[in-house]
A = this chain, B = another copy of it.
């Protein structure tokens, strides 16, 4: 794609017909990307050029805040028509972003079917499978013949985004199977759906966590996953594109948490300065107080330090090494727990392996510093530094590996056992270990 800014400029200069053709031709995601930096009023001037289907497609790809601004500008009846054409899950998201008065105005402008659909979808708690499902899917019943089923899908087609797979339900709308469109066209015209459908279906519950649902979809390599309620009744489907968005968004959240940044509701480019401040200040101040313990540790050993100022030279190096080894171990565990590669009961096994890896790392790093130790402080200081290095790398690594499991056990997000938290804990341990070893060795020689 060409440079977005220049395309946007050309589009605004173009006559209505040229602009319309452009917006009809581009992928709605690209069109939305080009329009997204315009003022709402300018945007609506362009958007109204295209037909209502296209309007809804492009509108669905615009950032949430811009959708809201547009909702205040677009005439009520045209807005209701646009919302009616939107995908049901995107429509429910928009609805959830509106305040109550706006919601009431919108609901009154919609036909009953859409009104009920929005109410139903918007009622699901955030981060549940229900909150990301759509109600645009094809349903069949088992007694239909293949011909009748194809006829039914033909009639339903204009309303349904995708019918690669149709879901088969019984008289109580309980999910009993599914069938792919390609199976239908391959089957005999008078075969019955109930006889040729795939009976084993992999459904998630409407209250399941959205990340778990997305991971299940990824695990089974399916395009869509059905969502059922307590009675096993089909209430929606989760599609592969929404699942992919969830996985990306959860990875971003984990990434941010691992750097002690709270979950951002928008991307970092759209985040305001006060929002960024709020999402960052909490951990920073908390860690300031955690680090007072390191300071107190140093103060406690003031005598040892005053007698051997050369020890200070190695202080940053040793506590940073403890923190870095710990950050590595926690990073590995946080991600492995998030992807499901490692589960709670692996703790013992992983801890044993980590001890071996950390011991090898500690020895290597001790070797790396002992030369400098001899040069800067003599053999005694070198011994202290080398011993400390092995001890702090081991301690840091085992803490870094264990905190994510501990947080997980306490039902907290393991990603909170972030690098900076592990580093602070490792720092405190590092100070105490370093000067304890120094005091023991240097005051005995």
Contact = CB atoms under 8 A, between A and B. Distances in A.
A20 to B, nearest CB: 16
A248 B162 CA distance: 25
Interface in A132-171: 150, 153-154, 157, 162-164
A315 interface: yes
A342 B270 CA distance: 10
Contact of A240 (B240, B313, B328): B240
A13 to B, nearest CB: 23
A162 B268 CA distance: 37
A321 B419 contact: no
Given A255-B335, A269-B346, A419-B419, A325 B284 contact: yes
Given A164-B182, A182-B163, A298-B312, A269 B341 contact: yes
A232 interface: no
A336 B268 contact: yes
A221 B89 CA distance: 14
A336 to B, nearest CB: 5
Nearest to A266: B341
A320 B427 CA distance: 9
Q: How large is the interface on A (under 10, 10 to 19, 20 to 34, 35 or more residues)?
A: 35 or more
Contacts of A361: 277, 280-281, 284
Given A219-B29, A284-B328, A252 B364 contact: no
A200 interface: yes
Contact of A316 (B154, B218, B291): B291
Nearest to A298: B312
B320 A368 contact: no
A396 to B, nearest CB: 10
B306 A291 contact: no
Given A267-B341, A309-B306, A244 B255 contact: no
Contact of A288 (B200, B220, B317): B317
Contacts of A383: none
A360 interface: yes
Contacts of A40: none
A180 to B, nearest CB: 8
A294 B317 contact: yes
Nearest to A321: B288
A251 interface: yes
A292 B375 CA distance: 13
A276 B357 contact: yes
B295 A317 contact: yes
Given A218-B248, A298-B312, A328-B259, A25 B285 contact: no
A181 interface: yes
Contacts of A357: 273, 276-277, 280
Contact of A218 (B245, B273, B317): B245
A335 B253 CA distance: 10
A245 B291 CA distance: 40
A369 B317 contact: no
Interface in A289-342: 289, 291-292, 294-296, 298-299, 302, 305-306, 309, 312-317, 319-321, 323-325, 327-328, 330-336, 339, 341-342
B258 A255 contact: yes
A289 B369 CA distance: 8
A324 B283 contact: yes
Interface string A9-20: 000000000000
5 contacts: A181-B181, A260-B324, A283-B328, A298-B312, A324-B420
Given A273-B356, A320-B427, 20 more contacts: A181-B185, A218-B241, A244-B247, A251-B251, A255-B334, A261-B331, A267-B336, A267-B339, A268-B342, A269-B342, A276-B357, A281-B364, A287-B320, A291-B320, A296-B313, A298-B312, A312-B312, A316-B431, A327-B420, A419-B419
